[in-house]
Amino acid sequence: MAVRTGGEMVYQTLLASGVDHVFGIVSVHNIPIYDAILRGGGIKTIDVRHEQGALHAADGYSRATGKLGVAITSTGPGASNSMTGLFEAGFASSRVLMITGQTETQHYGKGKGVLHEAENQLAMLRSVTRVTESPRRLTEVPELLTRVIRDINTGRPQPGAIEIPIDLQYASADVDIPQNIQGDRLEPAEESIRNAAAAMAESSKRFILAGGGVLRSEASDELIKLAEALDAPVYTTINGRGSIPEDHPLSMGTFMMAAASELKAAELMIAVGTRFQGGSTGNFAFKPPSSLIHIDADNHMIGLNYRAQVAVHGDARLALDGILNQLNAEKGDANFLAAISDKAATSRTEVRGRMGEDFEEIMDAIRSQLPRQGNIVRDATIPAYVWGNTLIPILEPRTSMNTTSAAIGPGLPLAIGAALGTGQKTVIIQGDGGFMLNIGELATAAQYQVPVIICVFNDRGYGVLRRIQASRFEGRNTGVDLATPDFTKVAEGMGVKGIAVAGVDAFKTAFAEALAHDGPVLLDIDQSKLKPMSLGF
């Protein structure tokens, strides 16, 4: 045992958890933690410009690396600013830890009006996390922090938080730091594995739906082996993109709903690591075949939206590995696979046709120039919905992410976290309206020379809502047309290279220039100079 301050306990617990980056803003209610990290070394602090950005960056870091993403905020206003980031991380099943401060223990709960007093902060944080802790004694700090980290890393990943009163951060005690902090993979029941393998052997027309749980459990290799063993077509949810390379012959992309008629012939559906969110099922209009195997780390999700004939509660990688070891099934029906493959090809062609040729060329330029390991991040914007979330090929695990909760604005900080975690060039498909919500993180990108390419598709407003209003409210628009700054000048003023883009050829040149540049680059793409898409919202 050794005498440590509360701040040092936090630092050493993070270090024992394998943390090497933290994102946040220093404040009077977390200085001891920051100071301990500075003195101790081994963890890099990334100073963001808004606490929401800290949580999104930690989320992006975690999704891209598989590691624990950590954000450190102040109590009160700082913690409340972080709520959107925790909300998004929960939707995305992301391993995100938030550490925040709290007023002195002698004042906590008494409503005296001390600095950053937040009497209901614990309840607020618990509304968007699975586990949030609040130590009342110094010796509880490493114990409760370890409990939160283990929960985040066990089962279906969910964000967690801890609030630590400032007096405990300064105080010292003789306390050990736990070392077994990683969390445990959930071992599926042997009987469920046998039943799944048997169901696969009893069918010939099978298909797979892979969700984000495949990526979170690092089960891509096992998924591909199973698909190849069965010769089964693989669809993915948007969160599951990259679990199988989209240039693999068995990858059908995200077009499951488009193939609803063809899939009526299926005898078996194998769903892995998905909770069947509305977006992937046409708001539950999809009808699975009579036999469904559902593999998921969260038992609550199995049977929630669709009844499973075989329920496999456990880690996706362990489950798929167990099934492969017991599998004794013939290859799938060749005619069924051919029909599904033809439909996927037709669906891709149809979407390309609705994109308009200018957006087709832009998409193809991004994919052809960006390295296979490069990250592609999409905010909530029309180019993302039409082609970014579905059509631009994703070729490696953990290189694709989007705003799972459909929030606008997380794109830039998500990308900053992904780029810092992987060191890979990271492209952001962003709308001008959403970009304004976290535009301050341009300064973060500049400060750390983050290799992000920010593609702002600029239609001077909220394009998605503009189209919805135009189609449903007799052409009336309200609140969707925005006064938009010159983004290239804003970028240059913050130390980021900015390039104005007017047309497809200009984009190709600018994108190549951005890839060759060592630091962040913003491309301000004037959508009025591009041929419009025919698919609206």
pLDDT at 180: 72
Helices (H), 436-503: 441-447, 463-472, 487-493
pLDDT at residue 458 tops 60: yes
**Which of residues 44 and 182 earns the better pLDDT score?**
44
The rounded percent of the chain whose pLDDT value lies above 90 is 85
Q: Average pLDDT in the 167-186 region?
A: 89
* Of the candidates 43, 84, 79, the residue with the CA atom closest to the CA atom of residue 162: 79
Residue pointed to by tokens 């509304």? 127
Q: Average pLDDT in the 506-517 region?
A: 98
Q: Average pLDDT in the 375-400 region?
A: 96
Give the start-to-end residue ranges of the domains of the chain: 2-173, 190-344, 356-529
pLDDT at residue 536 tops 50: no
The rounded percent of the chain whose pLDDT value lies above 70 is 98
Confidence of residue 336 (pLDDT cuts 50, 70, 90): very high
Rounded CA separation 235/237 (Å): 7
Rounded CA separation 16/527 (Å): 48
The correct answer on CATH 3.40.50.970 for the domain covering 2-173 is yes
Indicate the DSSP class of residue 495. Answer: T
Rounded CA separation 379/202 (Å): 42
pLDDT at 535: 61
- Sheet holding 21-24: strands in order across? 44-47, 21-24, 69-73, 96-102, 160-165, 131-133
Q: Average pLDDT in the 251-280 region?
A: 93
CB atoms within 10 A of CB 419: 28
Tell me if residue 45 falls in helix, strand or coil.
strand
pLDDT in tens, 404-446: 998 999 999 999 999 999 999 999 999 999 999 999 999 999 9
Instruction: State the fold for domain 190-344.
Output: Rossmann fold (3.40.50)
Tell me if residue 72 falls in helix, strand or coil.
strand
Could you tell me which residues are beta bridge partners of residue 410? none
The mean pLDDT value of the chain amounts to 94
Q: Average pLDDT in the 331-358 region?
A: 95
Tell me whether domains 2-173 and 356-529 share a fold.
yes
Which architecture, in CATH terms, is 356-529?
3-Layer(aba) Sandwich (3.40)
Rounded CA separation 502/499 (Å): 10
Tell me if residue 482 falls in helix, strand or coil.
coil
Please answer whether residues 219 and 316 qualify as being in contact, where contact means their C-beta atoms are separated by less than 8 angstroms: yes
- Sheet holding 521-526: strands in order across? 400-402, 375-378, 426-431, 452-458, 521-526, 497-501
pLDDT at 110: 66
Confidence of residue 256 (pLDDT cuts 50, 70, 90): very high
Q: What is the pTM of this model?
A: 0.95
pLDDT at 115: 64
Could you tell me which residues are beta bridge partners of residue 164? 101
Helices (H), 372-486: 382-383, 411-422, 432-435, 441-447, 463-472
pLDDT at 281: 82
Please answer whether residues 292 and 197 qualify as being in contact, where contact means their C-beta atoms are separated by less than 8 angstroms: no
pLDDT at residue 537 tops 50: no
pLDDT in tens, 75-125: 999 999 999 999 999 999 999 999 999 888 776 776 766 767 777 899 999
pLDDT in tens, 212-234: 999 999 999 999 999 999 999 99
Residue type for 418, please? A
